Amino acid sequence: MTFALPAETTRADGEQTVRSYLLVRVSHERYTILGTDVREVTRWREPVPVPGSPPVLPGILNQRGIILPVVDLRLLLDLPVSPPERTTRYVITHRGEVDLAFLVDEVIDLVNLAAHQLEAIPDGLDSQQSRLLQSLTRLDDQPVAVLELEAVINTLQNGF
Amino acid sequence: MSYDGLLLLILTSRHRYLAPRSQILELCVMTGEASRAQPGEQAPPTERFELGPLLDPQDPPGRTRRHALLVPTPTQNVVLLVDRVEDMWLEPGERIQAFPPFFARKLRRPWFPGAMLYHDVPVLVLDLCRIAQDALNMGREARWEA
């Protein structure tokens, strides 16, 4: 089962710009992905493996006639990996010329975040992780990292 | 990689692949110690490789009757052995989808230029010429190291 996200999720709310983000769980951590980068979310199914591909790229997937590379976000973020469960999902993204299927452990919700809710990445954070993040925020009093899809794609293109 | 619409569906023990028919010189069934030479004619130098384990070490050589794909390289012809081969024409609207450059660069070997949907399932497309050339080189290196 799949569901489509709103195509345009940015709106002016007084003087603050509010954007919609997809809130996901990756291993034991929570991240958000900008809603306008997300095409849809779909249930996990076994990807077709490509011999010689690194573990972070476990295979390819047919999504509505388009063959997409699968990116295991857990490995990219250097987080523990567990077998697929009922909640495991692919987040299908589109940015520039690149379409990807990100494997996440759970899609939790669609959330709205205003600019003032986003904080800079602290210096002490692991550099592998921090270069993939745009900012940090808090939801339900828990920390949540905002993924920077452009940085993720650059990392995939230039080395990991 | 060029193709004229005719593809080969190649089956190994564990996987299936696609490849342009234009990349092979000949397709035949191996019967024992089959020789390609006619009486009085010198056989062209060829080397044989099992394609399945070459692509995926977890894919064991098949035990069924072998089908041979004769692939040309600049120096000699190479025989790639597989379980089974079927002809397949591209239908209107069907196309080989190239992998994004970052994905292709991350592969251990540049043997898969893309994939194509076959009954809605992605099937890897092979560059048989590149595979044959690399197999030859790997064979030479292995002999040199021995």
Is the pLDDT higher at B131 or at A1? Answer: B131
Given A48, A57, A65, which is nearest B106 (Cβ)? A57
pLDDT of residue B53: 94
CA dist., res. A132 & res. A127, Å (int): 9
| Regions in chain A scoring below 70 on pLDDT | 1-16, 160
pLDDT of residue B6: 87
Question: Which sign does the torsion angle of CA B118, B122, B123, B125 carry?
Answer: positive
Question: On the CB side of B29, how many CA atoms lie within 13 Å of its CA?
Answer: 5
Write the DSSP string, B11-32. Answer: E-SS-EEEEEGGG-SEEEE--S
pLDDT of residue B4: 65
CA dist., res. A22 & res. A30, Å (int): 10
Per domain, the residue ranges of chain B are 6-31+42-145
Given B101, B105, B124, which is nearest A50 (Cβ)? B124
Judge whether residue B17 has pLDDT over 80: yes
- Strand A89-95 to B121-125 pairing: unpaired
- Strand B77-82 to B46-50 pairing: parallel
Given B102, B106, B115, which is nearest A67 (Cβ)? B115
- Which of B106, B108, B123 is the mutation pick for testing A, counting most A CBs within 10 A? B106
In chain B, what residues touch A97 (CB-CB under 8 Å)? 100
Mark A100-115 as b/e (b = at least 16 C-beta within 10 Å). Answer: bbbbbbebbebbebee
The CATH superfamily label for domain A2-158 reads CheA-289, Domain 4 (2.40.50.180)
pLDDT tens-place string over residues B60-102 = 888 788 999 999 999 999 999 999 999 988 877 788 999 998 9
pLDDT band at B39 (very low <50, low <70, confident <90, very high): very low
Q: What is the dihedral of CA B71, B73, B77, B78, to 10 degrees?
A: -60
Per domain, the residue ranges of chain A are 2-158
What is the amino acid identity at position A40?
A: E
CA dist., res. A61 & res. A51, Å (int): 14
pLDDT of residue A2: 52
Decide if B56 and A51 are in contact by the 8 Å CB cutoff. Answer: yes
pLDDT of residue B89: 84
Judge whether residue B22 has pLDDT over 70: yes
Decide if B101 and A52 are in contact by the 8 Å CB cutoff. Answer: no
Q: Give chain B's mean pLDDT.
A: 85
What is the amino acid identity at position B88?
A: M
pLDDT of residue A160: 67
- Which of A42, A48, A50 is the mutation pick for testing B, counting most B CBs within 10 A? A50
Which ipTM was obtained for this model? 0.81
Decide if A62 and B120 are in contact by the 8 Å CB cutoff. Answer: yes
In chain A, what residues touch B104 (CB-CB under 8 Å)? none
**3-state secondary structure at position A111:** strand
Decide if A51 and B123 are in contact by the 8 Å CB cutoff. Answer: no
CA dist., res. A106 & res. B18, Å (int): 34
pLDDT of residue A8: 45
What is the amino acid identity at position B45?
A: P
Judge whether residue B2 has pLDDT over 60: no
Q: Which residues of A lie closer than 8 Å to B, measured between beta carbons?
A: 48, 50-54, 57, 60-62, 65-67, 69, 97-99, 153, 156-157
Q: 0.90 cut: is pTM over it?
A: no
Closest alpha carbon within chain B to A157:
B102
Number of A to B CB contacts under 8 A, please give it.
Answer: 52
pLDDT of residue A12: 53
pLDDT of residue B146: 61
pLDDT of residue B30: 79
pLDDT of residue A9: 46
In chain A, what residues touch B100 (CB-CB under 8 Å)? 69, 97-99
Are A147 and A57 in contact by the 8 Å Cβ rule? The answer is no
B5-14, B21-30, B133-142: range with lowest mean pLDDT: B133-142
